[in-house]
A = this chain, B = another copy of it.
Amino acid sequence: MSFPVKKILYGVGPALGLTLLASAGLAQEAAPMAEAAAAAPAATPVLDAGNTAWMLTSTALVLMMTIPGLALFYGGMVRKKNVLGTMMQSFAVTCLITVLWMVIGYSLAFTGESPYIGGLDRPYLTGHEKETLAGTIPESVFMMFQMTFAIITPALITGAFADRMKFSSMLVFMGAWLLVVYAPICHWVWMLAADGSAVGFLGQMGVLDFAGGTVVHINAGIAGLVAAIVLGPRKGYGTDNMAPHNLTLSVIGASLLWVGWFGFNAGSAVAADGRAGMAMAVTQIATAAAALSWMFTEWLLRKKPSVLGIVSGAVAGLVAITPASGFVGPTGALAIGLVAGVMCYWGATSLKHALKYDDSLDAFGVHGIGGIVGAILTGVFAVKAIGGTAGALEGNTAQVLTQIYGVGITLVYTAIATFILLKVIDLVMGLRVSPEEEREGLDLSLHGETIH
């Protein structure tokens, strides 16, 4: 572990100048991640209706993950007085990020030639003509598909500070976080040149992240952890009964996350082909394996298999397979799922209670831990025949280090940037609702509504 730690230390700083060193030491062949424009760089790309059909569908599926999926998953876990406020966070984030992505976010993430950040030259989706293509699909579809990722990532964070953040501050934070944290990291990992080669520095280095282990889950998980610590625990945490008020909502939510995740992972092939099919299969297998491994672990340790446990395990599996989904095969997926279920169970129970932060709905425990597990194991189980890159099991042990490096960079950058953003917002407008508002519940105090 000493090597990546060193890398992490090197890797942080304004210019992150160690790219050269690292690319010499670590980089394999450039792994085309999202493959937006990857197919046949020589011939003029033409629109493929089949691929476009699948990407339109995938976009709808990924939107469904956030609303209503995540809104329900989180909404069912809070106390009754906060359910509307919690669901509203996912919904409002969806709206806010949509507009910001269109105004400038997409430009920051997916234009330019810098390995660190995109340009400002395509605000308001300038240059999106009806005919513009990204690979074999319209660029408008690629832009939309990526937008749904930009939406769910901040929405995931809301689980960490449930029940206590001001709605206004939450909006400001999420908007800033999209531009300052999400857009650059997305660029580092997924920005490709027209010829399909990686532009972002993590992509160039060969970090594998098929559908968002670092960009989405580690990113959101770490941001959530920082937010939970900065905001402090809920009033009554550890003494009051904070049992989830209605887990039927969480079961619906987890199920829609699962179904929608096929768009997330298999959609990241940006084609309706064998790689998409394999991504869907490994997603299903890892998810089921993690759900079972969480369930049996809890059954063993706590005597009862809980509904919250099995659905949490499923989400843990979905998270962990995300970076791996275009790179590993069925047995790799099974292994990743089994490990992720146990590790996230530990993250959401022992670790959280040992360290005493109040990550209310386990944004870090599930997405942070699951994302890290998945990112690293991608380096272990990657199969050359599937994604073009071999993993440690096929002899390429360096890939594990590359993966750890990617995790480290993301982790450190997110943690620092999130911390600064939150502190600034706290100074300017405050982060937490008043104790009275918190006691009364967000539904009534912030939104003037309640479940009758």
Contact = CB atoms under 8 A, between A and B. Distances in A.
A57 B53 contact: yes
A28 interface: no
A49 B47 contact: no
B255 A68 contact: yes
B251 A449 contact: no
Contacts of A334: 99, 102, 124
A426 to B, nearest CB: 21
A343 interface: no
Nearest to A383: B130
Nearest to A103: B334
Interface string A33-65: 000000000000001111111101101110110
A255 B91 contact: yes
A272 B88 contact: no
A285 B329 CA distance: 37
Kindly report how many copies of this chain are found in the complex they form together: 3
Residue in A258, A331, A385 whose Cβ sees the most chain B Cβ within 10 Å? A258
Contact of A280 (B59, B247, B251, B256): B59
Contact of A308 (B79, B83, B128, B449): B449
Interface in A383-409: 385-386
Given A247-B84, A248-B249, A274 B64 contact: no
A307 B449 contact: yes
Interface string A67-101: 11001100100011001110110011011101100
Interface in A229-283: 243-249, 251-252, 254-256, 258-259, 262-263, 266, 271-278, 280-281
A291 B140 contact: no
A292 interface: yes
Given A99-B334, A128-B330, A274-B47, A284 B144 contact: yes
A433 interface: no
A87 B452 contact: no
A123 to B, nearest CB: 10
Nearest to A290: B95
Given A248-B83, A248-B249, A288 B99 contact: yes
Contacts of A193: none
Contact of A53 (B50, B64, B129): B50
A251 to B, nearest CB: 5
B128 A95 contact: no
A445 to B, nearest CB: 9
Contacts of A385: 129-130
Interface string A427-452: 00000000000000001001111011
B68 A306 contact: no
B288 A128 contact: no
Contacts of A138: 273-274, 276-278
22 contacts: A50-B50, A50-B51, A52-B277, A53-B54, A54-B56, A56-B276, A56-B280, A57-B57, A60-B259, A68-B252, A71-B251, A71-B255, A91-B307, A91-B311, A98-B288, A124-B331, A125-B329, A128-B278, A128-B330, A132-B274, A141-B280, A144-B281
Given A63-B259, A71-B251, 14 more contacts: A47-B273, A56-B262, A60-B61, A67-B255, A71-B252, A88-B307, A88-B310, A91-B307, A96-B292, A98-B287, A98-B289, A102-B330, A246-B451, A307-B447
